[in-house]
Structure 1
Amino acid sequence: MTIPVFYTISDNYTPYAAVSIKSLIDHADKNKDYTITLLVQDISDEHKKSLEDMSTDNVHVNIFHIDDEMVKPIHKGEENYLRGQFFTMSIFYRLFIPELFPQYDKAVYLDADTIINTDIADMYNIDLQDNMFASCPDLSIRFMPLLQEYIKKCQGIFPPEKYINNGVILFNMKEFRDKKFVDKFYYLMSKYHFDNPDPDQAYMNEICEDKILHLEKEWDAMPNENMDEIPNPKIVHYNLFFKPWHFKDVQYGDYFWKVAKTTPYYDELKKQLEDFTDEDRQHARDDLKKMADKVKSIEKEKYTWAKVKKTEDVRI
């Protein structure tokens, strides 16, 4: 038996994915078998080889090319822009993992901007019961009043602390297939064109609401200037804008650089940090504010999740 782990990346995210995978390998049990699959649409031959060459005797790293037809219904409209800024299809790939890999009834998904500090088998072995998936509440927005308002007024999720971050997921793959999650996703997306700063995450929160197992915060520790570091995080997730390859003093940054030093991408990552200017950092902070401010415009949309839920059950 193998433990399946998935990432979804675009080509430019290869260096960060390599660091994350290295951290997973460093903590993998030599007596267990792991299969890491990276879902991509386009990747250079050089990057593909560098990732696959990370394979060990018991950790197998594979590249899987996403079928253009599967993501064709996801159009490049502004409502599908990540954080209201730009369109990247890769954020949606995770929604199709259960359909694409019917051989697995359970699997782990990780964003590429993560560091694994424990055997990922410990997460895989968590009992999902009859829940659709397991994830942690989104602590990165816990202290952002406008985004808390967005979750209540636009998403209609109460209390907003229920709202999960889907950068770390334990999938009940069989339930996703049996309940036809993808069909529900296509239907809601085509009918309502919901505007969300986090499109993929919003759909998972809404469609699976009350069928989500909330994990302890150690499984998705995110930099947050309003909180102290979580001691001994099992997974660190550099969510939103504060990446260690852009900010020297980012919370949990030491975890990233300790692993990065052991990869072929270390010099490239250090150069990214050196080349990222104070002006760039200010833009990142401004972008965070813009994302929060977007809430005010979403509230005025004809269709928001909260409005639609008054007349239709969007849950699976």
Structure 2
Amino acid sequence: MTVPVFYSISDDFTKYAAVSLHSLVKNANPQTDYTVYFLNQDLSDKHKKDLQDLGAKNVHIKFSHIDDQLVAPIKNRKENYLRGDFFTMSIFYRLFIPELFPEYNKAIYIDSGTIVNDDIAKLYQTDLEDNLFAACTDSSIQYVDKMVKYIKDVLSLDPQKYINSGMLVLNSKAFRDEDFIDHFLNLLEKYHFDCIAPDQDYLNEIGEGRILHLNEKWDAMPNENTKPLSSPSLIHYNLFFKPWHFHGVQYEDYFWKNARETKFYSELKKELDDYTDAQRQEDREKLNKMLEKEDSTIKDPHNWARVKEQGPVTL
């Protein structure tokens, strides 16, 4: 058995992905075989080598170039902006994994800004039954009133069941059998729903009722409102809680412990030291700007909730 794990990255995210990969390899079971794929469009040969060097005898590192034609239907339009701030195609790559890798009936996806503290094969052993995927409730937004309101009133979903897409166990066979990607692309083109987190919102909407919710330890996110988990299996530095930009981030020790064991430590430490208070303030303002999107989307007569009131969201 091979455990397939997927990241999607752009070239400038290599150093964070390298720390995540190092932590994954370090906690991998030496008796288990793993293949880690990096989905990308612009990864340099140098950075490919940097990542490949982090592999092990039983952890194979591979790269898969995302073809422009494959993602051509996803346009650089404001409703597809991540956090309402910028467009990045890489957030959508995870949705194509089942189609691009038909040899796998199940696959794991994790974001680059993560630390793996446990054997990732334990996730792969999840019994998905008839669910489309498994994930964790998005704990980073449960105390953010505007996000809770957005999920309830704009998406017409239960905030307690709204998952974060930074860690997914995909039922790849079900994705293929049910033409998930065609469904997604057709919805994207027909409705142009204005989203705060486009890939995540679509996953929550299409997967509603068929999402297996996992223990929060598999997607622990820094949070200023709750105490840290004592033994997080996977840490996800979501939104603007980046230990390479901010001091005092919850779970930051896990990141720096692993970063020190990679060639990127000095570069990452310098990035933290050089990041200015003005840049940190700008990041906080971006978060506020993201939350302001709730004000406009709730008035949109064509938002998810209004369309769903008229009946099932169809192709």
Asked if TM exceeds 0.5, the reply is yes
Q: Secondary structure at the match of 2:97?
A: helix
Q: Structure 1 residues 315, 109: CA separation in 2 closer, same or farther (over 3 Å shift)?
A: farther
The separation in 2 between residues aligned to 1:78 and 1:267, in whole angstroms, is: 36
Partner of 1:287: 286
Partner of 1:206: 205
Would the aligned equivalents of 2:187 and 2:314 in 1 still touch at CA under 8 Å? no
The amino acid of 1:60's aligned partner reads H
Alignment partner of 1:77 is 2:99:
no
Deviations 1:113-165 (A, max 9, x none): 0000000011110111110000000010000001100001110003x111000
Partner of 1:12: 12
Deviations 1:45-97 (A, max 9, x none): 11111112222110001111001111000000011010000000000000000
Would the aligned equivalents of 1:4 and 1:107 in 2 still touch at CA under 8 Å? yes
Partner of 2:233: 234
The separation in 2 between residues aligned to 1:286 and 1:226, in whole angstroms, is: 19
Would the aligned equivalents of 1:208 and 1:315 in 2 still touch at CA under 8 Å? no
Alignment partner of 1:87 is 2:87:
yes
Partner of 2:185: 186
Would the aligned equivalents of 2:34 and 2:59 in 1 still touch at CA under 8 Å? yes
Partner of 2:312: 313
**Structure 1 residues 72-81 or 275-284, which shifts more?**
275-284
Would the aligned equivalents of 1:20 and 1:115 in 2 still touch at CA under 8 Å? yes
RMSD (Å), alpha carbons: 1.1
Partner of 2:136: 136
Would the aligned equivalents of 1:206 and 1:314 in 2 still touch at CA under 8 Å? no
Would the aligned equivalents of 1:207 and 1:314 in 2 still touch at CA under 8 Å? no
The separation in 2 between residues aligned to 1:217 and 1:280, in whole angstroms, is: 31
Tell me how many residue pairs correspond in the alignment. 315
Q: Secondary structure at the match of 2:164?
A: strand
Partner of 1:32: 32
The amino acid of 1:235's aligned partner reads L
The amino acid of 2:273's aligned partner reads E
Q: Secondary structure at the match of 2:282?
A: helix
Report deviation, 1:302: 3.2
The separation in 1 between residues aligned to 2:109 and 2:247, in whole angstroms, is: 27
The separation in 2 between residues aligned to 1:167 and 1:314, in whole angstroms, is: 25
Would the aligned equivalents of 1:206 and 1:315 in 2 still touch at CA under 8 Å? no
Report deviation, 1:285: 1.3
Q: Give the percent of matched residue pairs that are identical in Structure 1 and Structure 2.
A: 55
Alignment partner of 1:49 is 2:49:
yes
Report deviation, 1:278: 1.1
Alignment partner of 1:161 is 2:160:
yes
The separation in 2 between residues aligned to 1:275 and 1:259, in whole angstroms, is: 20
Report deviation, 1:301: 1.9
Q: Secondary structure at the match of 2:31?
A: coil
Partner of 2:219: 220
The separation in 1 between residues aligned to 2:55 and 2:213, in whole angstroms, is: 31
Partner of 1:66: 66
The separation in 1 between residues aligned to 2:309 and 2:91, in whole angstroms, is: 28
Deviations 1:217-241 (A, max 9, x none): 1010000101110110000000000
Report deviation, 1:293: 1.2
Partner of 2:250: 251
Report deviation, 1:311: 2.5
Would the aligned equivalents of 1:40 and 1:64 in 2 still touch at CA under 8 Å? yes
The separation in 1 between residues aligned to 2:203 and 2:313, in whole angstroms, is: 11
Partner of 2:114: 114
Would the aligned equivalents of 1:52 and 1:63 in 2 still touch at CA under 8 Å? no
Q: Secondary structure at the match of 2:69?
A: helix
The separation in 2 between residues aligned to 1:116 and 1:55, in whole angstroms, is: 15
The amino acid of 2:38's aligned partner reads L
TM-score by length of 1: 0.98
Report deviation, 1:315: 8.2
The separation in 1 between residues aligned to 2:241 and 2:270, in whole angstroms, is: 17
Q: Secondary structure at the match of 2:313?
A: coil
The separation in 2 between residues aligned to 1:251 and 1:155, in whole angstroms, is: 29
The amino acid of 1:239's aligned partner reads N
